[in-house]
Structure 1
């Protein structure tokens, strides 16, 4: 996979057409967009986050990245800055501009289109996105050869399997070692928690023996309980009977109280009379020296008569209800009398024998023994769980031992030998020194990768020129990887931001030689640099004459100001 061109539907971004081998993006100063180009390429290669492109000023941009893949086929990825499910891709057998194309082979989100690209190109490693940043090295990914910026705050399990895959080592086996470590640690912690739940018990046998004692005591108590029920039965007494009598008495008392309230209401109603009669009205009008009109007098007399009739009818109904209620109360009191006599007999039996107190105590003891037995059975289950955990722990430790031995065997291969050879070659070209590259295992049997440059004091990348060395080691590593994969279906470019920068960068000629060597091996390079940083005038002139694909300046920035 090589980069063919990158362009946009927005005129603020000028297209860049890449050469098949060496490509330079020069600038007359910093902050004109040369580093931004790496973010754009990464975005088009389906990086998950949009970074600065999520800003409002880029809301109307759509970017297109054309890739050369599979023997002169060209894959174009179209990705708008807005939306998440509108990414498209199309494969053609020729180069083309797809600004006016509406028909694509696939449309969807990052994962959907990424899966399509992975399948269509047939990369030799799964999920090409995991490896892109080892070949596309912006300045954020130049401080550590193996640990990319996105892995800085993550544990080794997240990036070492990826590096392993990249080096031809089975990353799943490397990952499994970390997973087994984590599982063993977690199971060990769980066993400690379970053992604490057992309290002072250290054997199952001690718990089983105590359960046996509790069950014997429970059996004795249950026998007494059964005898107590038999004793009550002889006297026609049961717990249910006692409870039923109490309930019936309570309900009858409620009903009697309700009937008494109804009778009180009737009695008060029977005492009511019409407050004003005809004579009262006449007297009132005489006092006021006003004539009581005959018609009004007649109407009022009719009303009084009607009210008296209603009252008399109500009195008849009230008296009938009262008679019925009194009869009901009489029946209720007879029932209550019988129930109270029966309750008194039962209470007399219980009081005289003190049986109820004994019965309640017996119930508590039975519940207590049953609880103790259940708690002990739970402890037995804990012993079983611990035993199962220990068996699992033994199994995981055995698997861990095998995995460690297998991992130590897979760190040697023809691919790794070839990679070491390429690392040595590019190390010589860039630094004119020897490189030491190793893959091994630390005291915890976890894989380690190491790449150092020889100097007068041995192999130490942390000397005065440490930052520059680490930066250029990232370049050497990317170059060696690219050449090692040149005959496989994989990434065939090295994009590196500002490899000539650095106050103590005395390796510019070596870097330029390495870039030309990559070109000779049919590996594409995309290099950004400020023109004045390049010290060798001859090299700079050759770059300008033959390799510049875009020149950036304050008046011609990559994508404007932001």
Structure 2
């Protein structure tokens, strides 16, 4: 397919552009001195490519100039005429105000003007947008792109200034590797189905892993062992069955028996033990209190002296002194003993307090149990067992919920393992396919990489390497590098000028490799000669003309200052017929749209 004509319903404001079969040049001439140093001139050389994209049914974007300035362009209707493979022509009609209603007409001869053709005479009139894309895809019949739409390849055919940042990943593909990498693999001759399937499996795996993490969060810190859950659930269910049978029979004998056993074996035994412990503690406390009270020293040396004097016995000097020292010694021992006794009393009282509290609790439980056994109101018993059933059922519901989560988690883990294995197998097949295409010198990829290197070498006298290889995740990495004299990759491709050259070389190489297929024949490169020196411009122009002679339709835009400088006696760079659009900055008539700049 080639472009034939672009026109509108307002010929006085937008002149028709008649494209040539070979090379097409959009030339902008800067005549005003104050504009020579500007980076942008708003004449329309880049706008032409955007209009072609609009006519080929790009999605409506509020930032697109036609919609951003709707007050200026709402009444415009554009017509794009294209030449199909079977020498027939197709005209696409799309208006700005009703951009989602598209019309189509096939015809035998080119360069027609259907701007006044009534709607009934179009083959397909006012087709809804999504249906129109499918219909145009069928009419263009770029069958080599299948199963992808013709829209996927247009980014490489309509390179704007923003699309020279990367050879492979266009601006509109930012962050969407799964969208463009399989398509690019397809047009380069690799098995794109494997690439697409790998991305699909990877997406499925990621979704399953996220669900598994969500379930683990739902479980929180609860048991993750399904065996324990099943065991607990079984016990709870059996207990619930017994209580339900009891309730259904309205017979509480078994319940009475259980309470009696609990009372005798549990509460009474414990009460008896605690009573014994309390008795022992009470006796200990009594002895301690007695010891604390009985701490006096009855012997008084002064009284002893008086008695001895009455009896005529001497009680002075060393004897009295020794008795006083003995009393002091005993008093010191007694004080220390009191400290230990007080500490022991505090411990005993604490234990008594604990024992009494537990006895009070057990006494209450004993009273409740005895009340249950001696109660004559059977409905009170029924209510108590029913309350126990409610608690049991809540426990069972919680366990069943956990069991459901765990079963789902196990299923997800099984699926995750399966998907991981499938991804591994796919990665192995991708690696084998890439190796096969790289090693086969007659493969489509080998053909493209040879054309690619030839173009770069003809322009800058350096070879270039186009390579495709799978990374550790199984995704394809595409690289385009300029080589030095020794055949090693250099950083030259990182500069904007050479990166643009690599983009142009890639687009042309792909078109040439598919020249015998049902594939587009045109390519639009904006600002093609910017930043190149004169010799390289001449070389690139020679390459573009050569590719035009092969049957392709290269379209290039430039401003006059980017033309290679030639001696005055040499012919102009372009023939008159090669320039399909001539623009200048003197007035509005020199712009693509003959209106004031917006």
Question: So what's the TM-score if we normalise by structure 2?
Answer: 0.69
Equivalence for 2:104:
89
Change in Cα spacing, 1:558 to 1:459, as seen in structure 2 (3 Å) is farther
1:432 is aligned to 461
Deviations, residues 171-218 of structure 1 (Å, cap 9, x unaligned)? 332122122222223322322333454444243222222123223322
Residue aligned with 1:364, SS: helix
Partner SS, residue 512 of structure 1? helix
Q: Which runs of 5+ in 1 are unaligned?
A: 232-348
1:480 corresponds to which residue?
Answer: 509
- 1:105 aligns to what? 123
CA distance in 2, matches of 1:540, 1:180: 59
Task: Report Cα offsets for 1:276-314 as digits up to 9, x if no partner.
Answer: xxxxxxxxxxxxxxxxxxxxxxxxxxxxxxxxxxxxxxx
Asked if 1:164 is matched to 2:185, the reply is: yes
Corresponding residue of 2:325 = none
In the other structure, the counterpart of 2:314 is none
**SS across alignment from 1:537:** coil
Q: CA deviation at 1:114?
A: 2.2
Structure 1 487/59 Cα, relative in aligned 2: closer, same or farther at 3 Å? same
Deviation, 1:109, is 2.9
Which region of structure 1 is more displaced relative to structure 2, 113-122 or 446-455? 113-122
Partner of 2:232: 210
Q: Is the 8 A contact 1:465 1:504 kept in 2?
A: no
Distance in 2, matches of 1:75 and 1:227, equals: 87
TM alignment of 1:243-262, pairs within 5 A? none
CA contact (8 A) 2:493 2:502 kept: no
1:534–1:540: 8 Å Cα contact kept in structure 2? no
Query: Would you say the 8 A contact 1:142–1:470 is kept in 2?
Result: yes
Checking the alignment, whether the CA contact within 8 Å between 1:106 and 1:116 is kept in structure 2 is no
Aligned mate of 2:66, from 46, 50, 53: 53
Q: Which moved further from structure 2: 372-381 or 40-49? A: 372-381
CA distance in 1, matches of 2:545, 2:74: 39
Mapped contact 1:461–1:470 kept (Cα < 8 A)? no
Counting only pairs closer than 5 Å after superposition, residues 194-209 of structure 1 correspond to structure 2 as 194-198=215-219, 199-209=221-231
TM-fit CA distance, 1:544 = 4.3
Contact 1:106 1:113 in 2 (8 A): no
Deviations, residues 209-251 of structure 1 (Å, cap 9, x unaligned): 21232233223433443454789xxxxxxxxxxxxxxxxxxxx
| Mean Cα deviation higher: 107-116 or 422-431 | 107-116
Secondary structure, in 3 states, of the residue corresponding to 1:427? Answer: helix
| Equivalent in 240, 247, 261 of residue 225 of structure 1 | 247
1:423 matched residue in structure 2: 452
Per-residue CA deviations over 1:38-91 (Å, capped at 9, x if unaligned) read 111111111112511122101111111111111321111111111134311111
Partner Cα separation in structure 2 for residue 43 and residue 220 of structure 1: 76
Counterpart residue number, 1:143: 165
Residue 39 of structure 1 is matched in structure 2 by: 50
| 1:158-557 to 2 correspondences below 5 Å | 158-198=179-219, 199-226=221-248, 228=250, 353=376, 355-411=378-434, 412=437, 414-455=443-484, 462-463=491-492, 466-502=495-531, 507-537=536-566, 541-554=572-585, 555=587, 556-557=590-591
C-alpha contact (below 8 Å) 2:497/2:531 kept by paired residues: yes
Label 1:109 to 1:219 Cα distance change in 2 as closer, same or farther (>3 A): closer
2:462/2:485 contact within 8 Å kept: no
Shift of residue 533, structure 1, vs aligned partner = 1.4
1:433 CA drift (Å): 0.7
RMSD of aligned C-alpha atoms?
Answer: 2.6
Report the CA distance between 1:394 and its aligned residue: 2.4
